[in-house]
Structure 1
Amino acid sequence: MRGVSDRISPWFLVLVLVTVGGGVLTTLGTPVSLTAGVVLLVLGGWAVSLCLHEFGHAFVAYRSGDLSVREKGYLTLDIRRYTDPVLSFGLPVVFLLLGGIPLPGGAVWINHGAIRSRAARSLVSLAGPATNLVLGAVLTVLVATVAMPVGLAVGLSCLALIQVIAFVLNILPVPGLDGFGVLEPYLSTPARRLAARVRPWAPLVLFVLLIGVPGVAGAFFDLAYTVFDAVGGSGRLASAGYGELLFWR
């Protein structure tokens, strides 16, 4: 369509540069540069992964028949297309710095009526969390196979764990999260109507439980670490990275 561009957004490239800059800082060998580097690497990398997560949804939707995602700019990796600056980016960053939980931070509006099949609609929902899992696995492989300074390994391992946590969180079958979106096309009409009523507040209840109920949080993080171990992650390096990310504690 004339006037529609699929070129990668300069804003996405800026986020990549911030992430790379954070990685460079982690290699300088001072405590201050290590902490600053991990913070920039993790927050920048998280923003990059947010763009890739939403791009995953949009790309599968586009390939499945929803051509409107191209007109909306979802295929450009422009973070501004996926987020509200405060609610969708600033607030999740605050939660990440406070508790280390990567809240869902973006959204793409899909025309589900244009998607050809129930299986395709499920794949659209699955594409985002799958992107996080693949990113986490790629990062753990890099740390395990490429010689690098310890500081960089710490930062990348922390970012990898956050990707795995984002996968586990998003894949939960809770209305409003991607995991429920995978199941929703196969549910009855009454079940979908009930889900629509609870969708606005169900994720909030989940986050309150994760933050405020130790047993729920413990079970969730146990599952996340199990997946992290399965993709070859180093819990020791990731924990050290979290220590730098949450430096104020």
Structure 2
Amino acid sequence: MTFADTERSRSEESRISPVFWVLLATLVTSGLAVGNGYGNARLGIFLFVVSGWMVSLCLHEYAHARTALHGGDLTVGAKGYLTLNPFKYANALFSFVLPIVFVILGGIGLPGGAVYIERHRIQGRLKHSLISAAGPLVNVVLALVFLLPVGLGWFDLISPQVVVDDHQYQETYLQVAFAFLGYLQLTAAVLNLLPVPGLDGYGILEPWLSWKTRRAVEPFAPYGMLALFVLLWQSPLGGYFLRLVLWVMDLVGVESGLVGAGYQLFRFWES
């Protein structure tokens, strides 16, 4: 293979997928529609949140893959992980389908499954930890992107105010859409940073554990996310988690009522 062929191959491996562009276009278009009062506001918020959540999941997995590439795993490009195509990831069910179902059912951004990284190609515990940390850091950045404009009141005067059951609120539709999507990003970041087997928080910690401990925990990794989901809904852990997330949102000036209004409007089928 010539140098030109190699460069062309690398370029194709990093070319952004049309699927991602469609998701991004849906996010922008639905956001503009909600902000300008076009069409059904509830359906617009639903499309905005779902497409935004899908975009964030793609970026989350891309961050893992890109960090792994620089860490020494050169196979991630051939696997399609750098194209931001959700259909290229190791487990579409855990990476995308289940997280969207969890958003619809419980209004929490439960993280999805990670891309498959060939860890034996990567040398150094710090590199392994950084690969695991890259995904949640994307969610932290996106949480700030969506929450800070709300906290700073950028949307107060540029979009129609929320009307639910003939009652008009002070908040605007775009405001609550941003607040709810930012809340999902924040919940995903916090949950994913927990040291639970199968999640990125444990992936950050795992390289520093003894071989014996890692072998003992390994069989439980596939069930970590589902166990966490059960605990959030069936134990006091859910209440503690919610208070922590709302406390962080309060730090950036976003009221919890905005999230509640956003979630109510997101469930357009209940109108």
Asked if Structure 1 and Structure 2 have the same fold, meaning a TM-score greater than 0.5 normalized by the shorter chain, the answer is yes
Q: Distance in 1 between matches of 2:180 and 2:268?
A: 13
What aligned pairs does 1:36-185 form with structure 2 within 5 A after superposition?
36-82=43-89, 84-143=91-150, 144=152, 146-147=154-155, 148-149=158-159, 150-185=172-207
What's the counterpart of residue 202 of structure 1? 224
Q: Distance in 1 between matches of 2:58 and 2:103?
A: 17
Give the direction of change, closer, same or farther, for the CA distance of 1:86–1:177 in structure 2 (3 Å limit).
closer
RMSD of aligned Cα (Å): 2.0
Q: Distance in 2 between matches of 1:129 and 1:56?
A: 9
Deviations 1:126-152 (A, max 9, x none): 110110011001112233263432211
What's the counterpart of residue 33 of structure 2? 25
Deviation beyond 4 Å, 4+ runs, structure 1:
83-87
Matching residue's letter, 1:238: V
What's the counterpart of residue 248 of structure 2? 227
What's the counterpart of residue 165 of structure 2? none
Deviations 1:66-112 (A, max 9, x none): 11111111111111112645454333222211111222234211111
Larger radius of gyration: 2
What's the counterpart of residue 16 of structure 2? 8
Contact 1:83–1:105 (Cα < 8 Å) also in 2: no
Deviations 1:103-128 (A, max 9, x none): 22342111112222101110100110
Contact 2:16–2:84 (Cα < 8 Å) also in 1: yes
Q: SS of 1:70's equivalent?
A: coil
Contact 2:90–2:116 (Cα < 8 Å) also in 1: no
| Amino-acid identity (%) | 45
Q: Distance in 1 between matches of 2:131 and 2:181?
A: 24
Deviation at 1:60, TM superposition (A): 1.0
Q: Distance in 2 between matches of 1:94 and 1:13?
A: 22
Q: Distance in 1 between matches of 2:136 and 2:92?
A: 22
Contact 2:42–2:267 (Cα < 8 Å) also in 1: no
Structure 2: gaps (5+ residues): 1-5, 160-171
1:238 to 254, 259, 265: 259
Q: Distance in 2 between matches of 1:231 and 1:113?
A: 41
Contact 1:97–1:246 (Cα < 8 Å) also in 2: yes
Task: State the TM-score, normalized to the length of structure 2.
Answer: 0.84
Structure 1: gaps (5+ residues): none
Task: State the TM-score, normalized to the length of structure 1.
Answer: 0.91
Give the direction of change, closer, same or farther, for the CA distance of 1:170–1:248 in structure 2 (3 Å limit).
same
